[in-house]
Amino acid sequence: MPDALKMPEPELIEHAGLDSAVYLRIYLLGLKIFIPILFLTWAILVPVNWTNDWLKLSKATYSDIDKLSISNIPQHSHRFYAHVVMAYAVTFWTCYALKKEYETVTKMRLQFLQSEKRRPDQFTVLVKNVPPDADESVSEAVEHFFLVNHPDHYLTHQVVVNANKLSKLVEEKKSKQNWLVYYQNKYERNQSKRPMMKTGFLGLWGEKVDAIEQHITEIERLSNEIAEEKENVKSNPKAIMPAAFVSFKTRWGAAVCAQTQQARNPTLWLTEWAPEPRDVYWKNLAIPYVSLTVRRLLMAVAFFFLTFFFIIPVAFVQSLANIEGIEKRASFLKPIIEVKPIKAFIQGFLPGIALKIFLILLPTILMIMSKFEGFLSISNLERRSASRYYLFNFFNVFLASVVTGTVLEQLDTFLKQSVNQLPEIIGVAIPQKATFFITYIMVDGWSGTAGEILRLKPLIIYHLKNFFLVKTEKDREEAMDPGSIGFNTGEPQIQLYFLIGLIYAVVTPLLTPFILVFFALAYVVYRHQIINVYNQEYESSAAFWPDVHGRIIGALVISQLLLMGLLSTKEAASSTPFLLALPILTIGFHRYCKGRFEPAFIRYPLQEAMMKDTLERAREPNLNLKGYLESAYIPPVFKEAESDSEDDDDDEIGDKKWAKDNVLVATKRQSRKNTPVPSKMSNGSSPNLLELQEKDKP
Amino acid sequence: MPDALKMPEPELIEHAGLDSAVYLRIYLLGLKIFIPILFLTWAILVPVNWTNDWLKLSKATYSDIDKLSISNIPQHSHRFYAHVVMAYAVTFWTCYALKKEYETVTKMRLQFLQSEKRRPDQFTVLVKNVPPDADESVSEAVEHFFLVNHPDHYLTHQVVVNANKLSKLVEEKKSKQNWLVYYQNKYERNQSKRPMMKTGFLGLWGEKVDAIEQHITEIERLSNEIAEEKENVKSNPKAIMPAAFVSFKTRWGAAVCAQTQQARNPTLWLTEWAPEPRDVYWKNLAIPYVSLTVRRLLMAVAFFFLTFFFIIPVAFVQSLANIEGIEKRASFLKPIIEVKPIKAFIQGFLPGIALKIFLILLPTILMIMSKFEGFLSISNLERRSASRYYLFNFFNVFLASVVTGTVLEQLDTFLKQSVNQLPEIIGVAIPQKATFFITYIMVDGWSGTAGEILRLKPLIIYHLKNFFLVKTEKDREEAMDPGSIGFNTGEPQIQLYFLIGLIYAVVTPLLTPFILVFFALAYVVYRHQIINVYNQEYESSAAFWPDVHGRIIGALVISQLLLMGLLSTKEAASSTPFLLALPILTIGFHRYCKGRFEPAFIRYPLQEAMMKDTLERAREPNLNLKGYLESAYIPPVFKEAESDSEDDDDDEIGDKKWAKDNVLVATKRQSRKNTPVPSKMSNGSSPNLLELQEKDKP
């Protein structure tokens, strides 16, 4: 763990990619924001709150925590000005820290882009909605259009094909090959008996046949189908989508094409930057353009209903999942359940179980919704899921906890109130919920992070998979593969803590240390995890930072509005105009940042493109760009289908050979599927860290 | 007038420009929308409303008009479904007509751009916020940047200089020259006496001097100052603004530069399409970039206060401007005022006079505000003023009339209500105000248009100017110059009628014929005026259409919300969900139009640019583009200052010569300052129309 902290940031970027390094900076940002806030609020507000006797006099039930919070101050008190001043201080400090961070991340991103080795997506643009032409195919149409309109810069193109059916066949074949290996292993262990299997579904019924021969025939059949399908896809015009990856001779040409409108009809010939080849979500390229709007609308409506009405099906399932219900329906389980300890366990466990299962499944549901919407890159999908998850959390974890009860119940009340009473209703409830949130931070935040370092959940899942699903060595490795850091599950969680922290910073300063401990702990743990455990699935060069920034600004504005509501219930009405300026200033600050920094995350300036091109031409004048780019954007199923008889290593070997020829940036971390690696459970550090340590030795 | 209607549209475009032709289409659009609505609503709703006895039974005071309106239907009636269905019909028809119109205008615009002769702004981009460099001047910095980043396309550039002081001197000189001509004329008429003038302010005090000699010396002095200032401006680096007009060899190069981000810092090297040379508002080029945001914020706040609180100073002035007040303050006027007819006139006239004067001055105030905000082209200024004027009208003419009283008084009430009561409050008042709006349309719309054909207001102003200000023939011509059509005063008026028409279409169908008469009358009148009277100041190729479209959509959504409010007071609550879908559909339609059509008004597609370039190269391979573009964007003050001793004709002659060399599009209408033209009052048709009629003869 200490090693994890010692690694300097540039090395971290090289090791794990810019995305991961910037993800860690979110935790650091939390620390940067909240440490001075802690000192300020504790130095000023706690004495102000403590030296009051309001709660004592009001004879209401209270705890010491309440004594430290704003509830302790009587109505009309002038002490509220201290809180107003503190709100200003919190706002200014947060905005200052955000601005500094945005500047730094922008600089890191631009530096990263500048120093990056050559990558196919720097030269490539994704063209969508190519208009159909009776005379020529999509491929010819694309070629002609770009030769005419970008004559000096167009290089080559790769038409997008609908390879979904092909990839299904390839998947099926891989699975059958896996079973074949399993049966072969089983046979080798026990040569006397040939393994048998039933041909029915999941091997539960059907006639008994020789397993190995069955699988070999199946695999042959699938190989033929795959070859046939490949031919079909290449020649059938219906399988060719009106989209293409177009590559240019220079980054400048690609930057120009990506930022300009090509045709008279602005919905045709849409151009945008192509994502990295490994970042492309191939399945969604086959979605026709017209249905995209409809899909987005459907998903927006579905998300609305999910957020506000999810409690209905959950409650329904809950009603089934009580003990009496189970005993009625599955009476054969009755003797087991009646045993006392099991009964007690189930009684404590069941009531919340439907909700818990739903919450566990929620990220997956949101990801499926995002996939349905038709985004084309995995990074985009994750960002979309993350923002939806955050919204869901905001409404159903935060607001629901504060106003007690699900948003469905409260929706009625909200609609009847006038707009400016809304902050009051919520504001009043906030100090009362301070203790609840403290426990929430401790349970969800601290122990969640502790579980992360132990990788408790993956451990459980691994053993489950091992018991039920793993048949071959390959499966075992797949089960152990930790995957990527999962931006769409981790980041909304952090944002919720920002929200809670900012709201309670002025209201109940006692909460701030808990948040700080969480950020510090999570930073250390995740730094270790990123270096030693997780793989990087794609590199988006910190494209998510504008979303992160926007959500923190949102949290800040919400905290200001709620403070206004709270203070108006305390009849410190004269403070309201002062506080009203705060959201306006914050939103103005956000717009400034948007204009000043966000374009670096969306557009590639021509000056940068020209600089990089010039440098590259100076260094490598004889670069064969066409060969490099021609096969960059072929869907992986084609490459896999071609190498079906070879080992999976060939993909990597092919990449390495390509890398030698063309100095392609190789990811430092190889997929664990291919490198023999001792089990993580027994060996604390990974081979890569050992490599790095050896490199560090003089 | 019949001739005016007969002129076919393409000829109208050639004669008066696309802007004017599309402006007329707004009236046509009004007709297209409201004629079917008239038939539908009268066919269905009037019988539905008429055959009720609600008002009779309720014993409230009502008129026949109310019998025809929705007030006649009792609570809970099922007849409201007819109204809901009609609201849907109105929405669908309006959206359909809008879409058709948007398509047509877009096609007209693109066709116009395609067929246009060469213009300097097709090749030029305005670059703002050039970063300061210690080593090189702005001119060198611009040259180097574009040679590096747009190597194949950059042609030349013209740095922007702060010529405000120079233009003031030139103005002063022109005015002195005018006085000189006046005095010379006076002398010629009466050779015996040399004209004398006093040197003080407005000639009211000071020593008497010989006028002609005085003026000659002044003019000499000014000429020297001007020459000095010109040198100063050219050489002094402080006078050079960090902005430049950069011209490219091809339209393609200019289109690329205008649509892409140039530099790493998105606030530097900002590029946008250059406006036409005659459309540039030179004064505002001297505003530094940083202060633009501050200015916009200031003007936004000022506009807010103007809209909501203008009544305070107006009421103050009003309080002074009553008869007693005048008698007190200017007692020397007392004898005049006490005369009965005058007293009666003043008593009828004064009470509203402060408000009337304010409303007359309002467009000028808004234009000054827009100029302060720093827009760079006159077309932009007019669009901005138009949208502000519309907002002002909406709040203070429409809403104020409906809820009786200024918005200031109502603001309090609004804030206290909850959000969903707002449509109800306004909705209830609407049917009651139907008669008021009918009179408004008749007074303001019909007679305003009638006054337009008589050109009453300009006639009055002409005579006033003639009496007080005109000294020379030049002045007389200037006073007669009708100027351009004044988009910023005319269009908001039309939009208000759209709003009233759409709101009352379903509520009180009786109003619709009045609106229709207005649109028809205005169409005929303005067609005539545009052909025969107005000059075109600039050509923006109908760039205002997205604003017009957006405002009509806004009017439609407001009408839907108000209908919802109205129906909920009638306790036809079951209709609310049906009506709720309407605004959502309308906004969805608006977004579709925005995505599908608006880019044609903002961006120039590369395909179009390439087509035009190729055509031009094919036709004129030996074009000297550099000579053409080099002097296109020199501020007019320089050209005027150079030709100070020549006649003003030289500008036009210079243009004509240029036109012969370079096939520059010459405006058909020459400024009347230069062509000897009989007075409009005596001769009905203009020379140009005669020309056109002659052209039409076979």
Q: What pLDDT, in 10s, does the model give residues B537-551?
A: 778 888 889 999 999
**CA A37, CA A29: separation in Å to the nearest integer?**
13
A153, A250 in Cβ contact below 8 A? yes
Grade residue A669 by pLDDT with cuts at 50, 70 and 90.
very low
Facing residue for B605 by CB, picked from A263, A600, A608: A263
Q: Which residue has the tokens 């009609």?
A: B86
Cβ-defined contact of B605 to A262 (cutoff 8 Å):
yes
Distance between CA atoms of residues B508 and B512, nearest Å: 8
> Quick check: A262 and B608 CB within 8 A?
no
A161 backbone dihedrals φ, ψ, rounded to 5°: -115, 155
* Chain A, window 11-30: residues with a beta carbon less than 8 angstroms from a chain B beta carbon: none
Chain A residue closest in CA terms to B416 = A418
pLDDT-derived band at B80 (thresholds 50, 70, 90) equals confident
Chain A residues within an 8 Å CB radius of B267: 595-596
Q: How high is the pLDDT of residue B668?
A: 36
The whole-number pLDDT of residue A55 equals: 54
Among candidates B150, B267, B608 on the partner chain, residue whose Cβ is nearest the Cβ of A596 = B267
CB-defined contacts A:B, below 8 A: 101
A605 to B417: CB separation less than 8 angstroms, yes or no: no
- Mean pLDDT is lowest, of A436-440, A621-625, A650-654, B189-193, for A650-654
> Torsion angle, CA of B393/B397/B403/B406, rounded to 10 degrees?
90
pLDDT-derived band at B407, boundaries 50, 70, 90: very low
Rg (CA), chain A: 29
B57 pLDDT tier (thresholds 50, 70, 90): low
Residue with tokens 């040399």: B194
* Longest CA pairwise span in chain B (Å): 91
A290 has a chain B CB within 8 A of its CB: no
User: Residue A484 — φ and ψ, nearest 5°?
Assistant: -95, 180
Structure tokens at B193: 């006496």
Average pLDDT over residues A115-130: 83
Residue A554, pLDDT > 70, answer yes
Write out chain B residues lying below 8 Å of A603, CB-based: 260-261, 266
Residue A679: pLDDT band with limits 50, 70, 90: very low
Which chain B residues are within 8 Å of A266, Cβ to Cβ?
A: 595-600, 603, 605
pLDDT of A405 higher than 70:
no
- Helix, coil or strand: residue A243: strand
B114 touches chain A (CB under 8 A): no
* pLDDT tens by residue, A418-468: 555 666 667 667 776 777 777 778 777 777 777 777 776 667 667 777 776
Using DSSP's 3-state secondary structure scheme, residue B497 falls into helix
Nearest CA in chain B to A252: B149
In angstroms, what separates the C-alpha of B595 from chain A's closest C-alpha?
7
Least confident residue range of A355-359, A366-370, B187-191, B483-487: B483-487
Tell me what the mean pLDDT of segment A117-124 comes to. Answer: 81
Question: What residues of chain A, 248 to 267, have a C-beta less than 8 Å from chain B?
Answer: 252, 255-256, 259-267
Asked if B603 lies within 8 A of A261 by C-beta distance, the reply is yes
Residue B258 has pLDDT above 60, yes or no: yes
Of A262, A297, A607, the CB nearest to B607: A262
Please answer yes or no on whether A149 and B266 come within 8 Å at the CB atom: no
Higher per-residue pLDDT: B510 or B502: B502
Contacts of B264 in chain A (CB under 8 A): 110, 600, 605, 607-608
Judged by a CB distance cut-off of 8 A, whether residue A415 touches chain B is yes
Provide, as residue numbers in chain A, all residues whose Cβ is less than 8 Å from the Cβ of B590: none
B162-198 per-residue burial string, b: 16 or more CB within 10 A, e: under 16? bbbbbbebbeebeebbbbbbbbbeeeeeeeeeebebe
Residue to mutate among A264, A420, A614, with most B CBs inside 10 A, is A264
Q: Which residue among B149, B297, B610 sits closest to A149, beta carbon to beta carbon?
A: B610
pLDDT at residue number A644 = 47
Cβ-defined contact of B263 to A420 (cutoff 8 Å): no
Nearest Cα neighbor of A113 from A339, A347, A273 is A273
Which residues neighbour A652 within 8 Å (Cβ) at sequence distance 6 or greater? A670, A671, A674
Q: Does B577 touch chain A (CB under 8 A)?
A: no
* Cα A430-A432-A433 angle, rounded to 5 deg: 70
Please answer yes or no on whether A264 and B110 come within 8 Å at the CB atom. yes
Determine the average pLDDT of the residues in B640-661.
Answer: 43
Comparing CB atoms, the residue among B150, B267, B598 nearest residue A595 is B267
**Cα-Cα-Cα-Cα dihedral sign, residues B498, B504, B505, B511:** negative
Of the segments B130-139, B498-507, B639-648, which one has the largest average pLDDT value?
B498-507
Range of weakest confidence among A414-418, A590-594, B345-349, B693-697: B693-697
Residues of A in contact with B610 (CB under 8 A): 148-149
Give B656 or B152, the one with higher predicted confidence.
B152
Query: Amino acid identity, residue B119?
Result: R
Judge: A256–B260 Cβ closer than 8 Å, yes or no.
yes
CB contact (8 A) between residue A261 and residue B599: yes
- Any idea which of A393-397, B51-55, B417-421, B602-606 has the lowest mean pLDDT? B417-421
Contact list, B617 vs chain A (CB under 8 Å): none
pLDDT tens-place string over residues B335-366: 666 666 766 666 655 556 667 777 778 888 88
For residue A110, give the chain B residue with the closest CA: B264
List strands edge to edge, sheet with A270-273: A154-161, A240-248, A124-128, A270-273
- Choice among A175-179, A427-431, A501-505, B215-219 with the minimum mean pLDDT: A427-431
Q: Which of residues 601-630 of A touch B (CB under 8 A)?
A: 603-608, 610
| % of chain A at pLDDT higher than 90 | 4
Sequential DSSP letters for B641-662:
HHTTTS-THHHHHHHHHHHHHH
| Interface mutation target, options B142, B272, B417, B418, chain A, most CBs of A under 10 Å | B418
Residue A104 binned pLDDT confidence (cut-offs 50, 70, 90): very high
For the packed helices A353-373 and A290-309, what is the interaxial angle rounded to 10 degrees?
160
**Chain A interface includes B268 (CB < 8 A):** no
Contact A260 B256 (CB under 8 A): yes
* Cross-chain Cβ contact A266/B149 below 8 Å: no
Query: Considering only CB atoms, which chain B residues are within 8 Å of A594?
Result: none
Residues of chain A neighbouring B416 (CB-CB closer than 8 A): 418
Question: Does an H or E element contain A553, and which?
Answer: helix A545-569
Which of chain A's residues have a Cβ under 8 Å away from the Cβ of B588? 297
Q: Is A596 within 8 Å of chain B by CB?
A: yes
Are A260 and B255 within 8 A, CB to CB?
yes
Q: Which one of B102, B260, B597, B601 would you mutate to disrupt binding with A, by most A Cβ within 10 Å of its Cβ?
A: B260
The residue-averaged pLDDT of A323-339 equals: 64
Q: What is the dihedral of CA B409, B413, B419, B423, to 10 degrees?
A: -70
